[in-house]
Each structure stands twice: as C-alpha cells, then as structure tokens.
Structure 1
C-alpha cells in the first residue's frame, strides 16, 4: 500500500493496471514489469516512461525490489524500443 513516502510492489502493480496493462494476480514487481513491456508500441512506451519519471521524481522512496524491477526490466526495454523506433 502506498504511503506518502513509499512506493511498494502493490503500488507498481496498481499503476500498471490503471494504465491498462495486463498483470496477473500475485505477480512480483519483476513479473509485472515483464508483462508491461510485452508488445510495446508508441503509446504504451510513452505511458511507461511517464509513470517511471513520476515515480523517480516524486519525493516518495521506492522499495528496493520495485526499483530493481524497473531498472532491470522497464528501463532497458524502453531504451531498446526507443532506439529501434527512432531515425
């Protein structure tokens, strides 16, 4: 549950679901991020970038497992998507 100063796994899953991503019940942060990057398109990539930016620039602390999932799954997938779809 998100408190004013902590973003945990439940918050990540809730945010992904709110953006319309299909995340299985009981998924870990890493599994949820894996699901979110499947079938990326311009709209989904933009939504994920915005979500990550908001999380990283907020005053809230991000739980280590959530930060690791974002760093290992979302950010590399977004960078690869952007690189392959630019030019």
Structure 2
C-alpha cells in the first residue's frame, strides 16, 4: 500500500509563512494565496515564484482548493511581470 502526502491548505500556508508572508493560522487556501499575492505586489517575496512553480509540478497530490487558489491569485501575479 502506497501512502501519498497530499499538499493541503496547511502545507500551503506553512510554505508561504516560511517565505515571510504573514498569514493567520486558520486561513483557508484562498486567503493564503490572496495575502501572498498582495504581499508580492507590494514589496516582493523572495522565492515565492519558484516555490509556487515547484508546487504546481505536484498538482496530482494537491487538494483542488489549493490548486484553484494558486491559479486564481498567484499565477496571474507572476505572468504580469
């Protein structure tokens, strides 16, 4: 039996916090992505784009809510550069 470690909302939040984005403890993926995008637009978040691009290579083990939040709020920020 194979056990897969899913990328859930808490994993996503912890990755953003580790990059210096301030996110409330109980934030949903949508809020996490929105706050990270706003922070990146305001002052830039070093390593955010590469972290998100790396996460998006694992959509097969990512919860849909996390993927949708990234696609809605973060990918447009990076494509606008």
**RMSD in angstroms over aligned alpha carbons?**
2.2
Measure how far apart 1:40 and its partner are. Answer: 2.2
Distance 1:59 1:72 in 2: 15
- Are 1:72 and 2:59 matched, yes or no? no
**1:13-54, CA deviations, whole angstroms, 9 ceiling, x for partnerless residues?**
00000111011121110101111111426751x512111121
Structure 1 length as normaliser, TM-score? Answer: 0.75
In structure 1, the gaps of 5 or more residues are: 83-87
Provide runs of 4+ in structure 1 moved above 4 Å: none
Residues 78 and 59 of structure 1, relative CA distance in 2, 3 Å threshold = closer
User: Greater strand percent: which structure?
Assistant: 1
Equivalent pairs, count:
78
